[in-house]
Structure 1
Amino acid sequence: MITQGVDAVLTIVRGIRSRWRCHDRQHVEEDSKVHLGLFKRFTLQELQVATDNFRETNIAGDLGIGQFGKVYRGKLADGSLVAIKRLYRPTSYGHGEFEAVGDLINYICFHRNILRVIGFCMTSKEQLLVYPFMANGTLRCYLIGSSASKPPLNWPTRMQIALGAARGLSFLHERCDPKIIHRNVSPSNIFLNEDFEPCLGNFGLAIEMAYKDDHAITETVAGTYGYIAPEYMLNGKFSEKSDVFGYGIILMELINGQMAVVDVMGIHEVKQLLNEKMLDNIVDPKLRNNYVKEEVESLIQIALLCTQDKPEHRPKMSEVVRMLQGNDPAERWVEQELDLEIGYF
C-alpha cells in the first residue's frame, strides 16, 4: 500500500462547503432523529448497545482493523446488521469537517454498486460512521486464499462481481457531475453483500473532476501498489482511465483466483496464453474447469484492453459494461485497438 486515504466521508467532504450546519451541538448529540442530508445521526448509546459496548469479539473479520479505525459488526434496535467504524483519533478531523454533507456523498449513495453510508455519531470524544454490514467482506479475502468459511467463488459469482464493479465505476465516471475518480480501485475496496453483489467503497482518495478535463496531476501518488496506472505512477497524471487500469488488474485476479497475478504471470504471458488457447494455465484451478470458455476469453480480452500502457487506448467503463453484457464483443475491440502494447510490465 503506497498511501491510504482517510475515511470515505471525512476525506471526500474535505473542502466541500457544508450544506447543513448544527446550530445547537449539545441538542444534536442527544437527538438521534436529527439528519444531515441523507445520513441519520445515531446516539453513542445506540451504537454501544448495537456492538455490546464495542466488544472486541464484534470486530468485523477482515474489515475489522484499519489504519484509521476499527470496524465492528453491530445490530441496531430494528434488527438490521451494520458495520460501525470507530475512528482512532476523531478530534484530528474537526467537528465541522465531520458534519459537512456535500452533494457528492449524497448522490453516489443511490447506486446499488456503491457502498452507502447509513449514518454517523459524533460526540466530544467519539466519531463513528455506520454502513450496511457486508456479509461476505471484501473481494480481497477471497483472493488471498480460500478457507472453509470462504470457499472459492464460482464462475457466475465472479462474472457478477466483474459486472457490478464495472457498473459502479461507470456511474462515477459518466453519470456523476462532476465526475468522480476513485483512485484506489483494488480488491480491498470491493465489498460483497450476502448475495455477493459488489459495492465499491472507501472513497478516501476520490477526487472530483470537471467533464471538460481529461486528466489531472498530483505531486503525491496515492493508491494500492499493483493497481496504479503507469501514467499515474510515473508522472502523477490520473484520470478515469487510471481507474480503468486498476479494474483490469482486478479482472485478471478474478480469472486467476489470486492477488498479484500480474506480478507472477505478466500481462504479455497472459496475452500469449490466450492466443494459444491455453486457458487452463490462466484460470483459477480451484474452479475445476467449471467455467464458460467464451466468457473467460472475453474477460481476459477486456482485462488486456483495460491494462494497456496508454490511457487513451483503454475503454471507458460504460464500454466495459457493454462488453461484459455481450452487447459489444471484446474481440472487436482487440482487433481495432492495436497490438495491446503494455510497457508497464
Structure 2
Amino acid sequence: MPISMLHCLQYNSFKGLYQVVAVKRLDTTGVQGEKEFLVEVLMLSLLRHSNLVNMIGYCAEGDQRLLVYEYMALGSLESHLHDVSPDEEPLDWNTRMMIACGAAKGLNYLHHEAKPSVIYRDLKSSNILLDEGFHPKLSDFGLAKFGPTGEQSYVATRVMGTQGYCAPEYATSGKLTIRSDIYSFGVVLLELITGRRAYDDNGGPEKHLVEWARPMFRDKRSFPRLVDPRLKGNYPGSYLSNTIELAAMCLREEPHQRPSAGHIVEALEFLSSKQYTPKVSNTVNSAGMESVESPKETSVILPQESERERAVAEAKLWGETWRQRRQSEQSSPEGSK
C-alpha cells in the first residue's frame, strides 16, 4: 500500500508545548488500502507496549487517511544497517543486540500478552523504528491478524508480506501462526549479525540472505564469515556462536521447532547483558575467532583462569537450558502445532 511520511509540530494542550510527530498519509486506492488503514487504527488503539510505536491520532475525513504517530528520531533499523555512508560509523555489536532484544520484547507482547494474541505478519528491519538511544519499536500494523481461536492452530489468509522475510510454510500454504513471525524475526537477527539485506536483487546467487547463510550454520568455524565486516572484528567471539545459533533456531524449516518469542527474549537479555568492550589491540587466530588475548566483553576484569571457567559454565548452562526448553515445547500442546 503506497504511503508517504511527513513530520510536523503538534500542540499539546495539556502540557502547553509543541511536539514533533510523524504523520503517515495512506493511498487508499482500492479495497486493500482502506482495510489496512482500519486494521492499523484498530490494532494501535488496543495495543500498548514500550516496544510498539504509539499512535497519537488519525484522520478519516473524505478521501484523507492519516495516521499520527510519536516521532522516532533515529528512523528505521533498515537505514542504519543498509544505508550507511562510508564516512559513518556502523551500529556496534552492543547496540545491535539491544535492538534485537527490544524488538523481541515487542513481539512477545503481541504473541503472549495481548488479548487476543496478535500475529504481526510484517516483521522486517524497515518496520523497526528507533527512538533516542536506539530504543526499538515495532511499527506498521496494517497486515496484522488476531491469532487463532478455539481449536484452530492457524489463521488461513492470503499471503502478504515482504520478500526475504516470509516463513516458507506461510508462503506455500497461507497458514499463518505466531511461529511465522518467529521466522521473520530470525531474518532480522541475521541482518543484524551480517549487515546484509534480507533480499538483494543485485546479490546474484546470494540474493536471499537465509539461503546464503544456512550452509554456514552447520560449521562453527564458518561463523566469523557471517559477521558484518564493517564491525572489523569488534564483537564478542565467545558469544557469537550463541547469537548465530539463536538465529538458526528461529529459521528452522519446521515451525514447531522454532523457539517462542518469550524464549528469544530470555536468550537475548542474556546476550545483550554481555557488553563488548574493545581494547587497543586485537589478536585473531587463523579461524577468525578471538584468541585468549583478544578483547573481552565483560566489564569486570577477572583472572584469566576464572574468566575461562566462567565462560565454560555459561556455555554449559546455555546448552542445557535450550535442550530442556525444546523438549518441553515438543511435548506441550503448543509445540505439537
Equivalent residue of 2:270, what SS?
coil
C-alpha distance in 2 between matches for 1:325 and 1:244: 17
1:250-275, Cα deviation, whole Å (9 max, x unpaired) = 111100112137725634323134x2
Query: Kindly tell me: are residues 149 and 132 of structure 1, through their superposed partners in 2, closer, same or farther at Cα, counting changes over 3 Å?
Result: farther
Q: Which residue of structure 2 lines up, in the alignment, with residue 80 of structure 1?
A: 19
Q: Which residue of structure 1 lines up, in the alignment, with residue 84 of structure 2?
A: 146
Structure 1 position 90, deviation (Å): 7.8
The answer to whether the 8 A contact 1:253-1:260 is kept is: yes
C-alpha distance in 2 between matches for 1:223 and 1:295: 32
Q: Which residue of structure 1 lines up, in the alignment, with residue 178 of structure 2?
A: 240
User: Which of 203, 211, 214 matches 1:268?
Assistant: 214
User: Which letter does structure 2 place at the counterpart of 1:245?
Assistant: Y
1:75-114 alignment to 2 at 5 Å? 75-77=9-11, 78-89=17-28, 102=42, 104-108=43-47, 110-114=48-52
Query: Kindly tell me: are residues 298 and 100 of structure 1, through their superposed partners in 2, closer, same or farther at Cα, counting changes over 3 Å?
Result: closer
Structure 1 position 304, deviation (Å): 0.5
1:223-238 alignment to 2 at 5 Å? 223-238=161-176
The answer to whether the 8 A contact 1:267-1:304 is kept is: no
| 1:197 maps to 2:135 | yes
Q: Which has the higher contact order (CA 8 A, sep 6+)?
A: 1
C-alpha distance in 2 between matches for 1:100 and 1:317: 22
Q: Which residue of structure 1 lines up, in the alignment, with residue 319 of structure 2?
A: 331
Q: Which residue of structure 2 lines up, in the alignment, with residue 288 of structure 1?
A: 232
C-alpha distance in 1 between matches for 2:176 and 2:34: 29
Query: Kindly tell me: are residues 228 and 99 of structure 1, through their superposed partners in 2, closer, same or farther at Cα, counting changes over 3 Å?
Result: closer
Equivalent residue of 2:118, what SS?
strand
Query: Kindly tell me: are residues 234 and 330 of structure 1, through their superposed partners in 2, closer, same or farther at Cα, counting changes over 3 Å?
Result: farther
The answer to whether the 8 A contact 1:162-1:251 is kept is: yes
1:57-79, Cα deviation, whole Å (9 max, x unpaired) = xxxxxxxxxx1x31101122323
Q: Which residue of structure 1 lines up, in the alignment, with residue 111 of structure 2?
A: 173
C-alpha distance in 1 between matches for 2:34 and 2:180: 31
The answer to whether the 8 A contact 1:244-1:314 is kept is: yes
The answer to whether the 8 A contact 1:271-1:304 is kept is: yes
| 1:214 maps to 2:158 | no
Query: Kindly tell me: are residues 252 and 333 of structure 1, through their superposed partners in 2, closer, same or farther at Cα, counting changes over 3 Å?
Result: farther
Q: Which residue of structure 2 lines up, in the alignment, with residue 31 of structure 1?
A: none
| 1:313 maps to 2:257 | yes
Give 1 or 2: higher helix fraction: 2
Structure 1 position 335, deviation (Å): 5.4
C-alpha distance in 1 between matches for 2:69 and 2:172: 35
Could you tell me which runs of 5 or more consecutive residues in structure 1 were left unpaired when the two chains were aligned. 1-5, 7-66, 339-345
Query: Kindly tell me: are residues 100 and 201 of structure 1, through their superposed partners in 2, closer, same or farther at Cα, counting changes over 3 Å?
Result: closer
**What RMSD over aligned residues (CA atoms) do the two structures have, in Å?**
2.9
Q: Deviation above 4 Å: which 4+ runs of structure 1?
A: 89-95, 97-102, 327-330, 333-338
TM-score normalized with structure 2 length: 0.71
Structure 1 position 206, deviation (Å): 0.6
The answer to whether the 8 A contact 1:152-1:287 is kept is: yes
C-alpha distance in 2 between matches for 1:157 and 1:234: 35
User: Which letter does structure 1 place at the counterpart of 2:231?
Assistant: L
C-alpha distance in 1 between matches for 2:147 and 2:63: 35
Query: Kindly tell me: are residues 148 and 285 of structure 1, through their superposed partners in 2, closer, same or farther at Cα, counting changes over 3 Å?
Result: closer
Structure 1 position 310, deviation (Å): 0.4
C-alpha distance in 2 between matches for 1:115 and 1:198: 9
User: Which letter does structure 2 place at the counterpart of 1:80?
Assistant: Q
Structure 1 position 145, deviation (Å): 3.5
TM-score normalized with structure 1 length: 0.69
1:125-146, Cα deviation, whole Å (9 max, x unpaired) = 5332111111111111123241
User: Which letter does structure 1 place at the counterpart of 2:244?
Assistant: I
The answer to whether the 8 A contact 1:301-1:330 is kept is: no
Q: Which residue of structure 1 lines up, in the alignment, with residue 5 of structure 2?
A: 71
Structure 1 position 192, deviation (Å): 0.9
Structure 1 position 317, deviation (Å): 0.3
Equivalent residue of 2:233, what SS?
coil
C-alpha distance in 2 between matches for 1:240 and 1:296: 26
Could you tell me which runs of 5 or more consecutive residues in structure 2 were left unpaired when the two chains were aligned. 12-16, 200-205, 272-313, 328-337
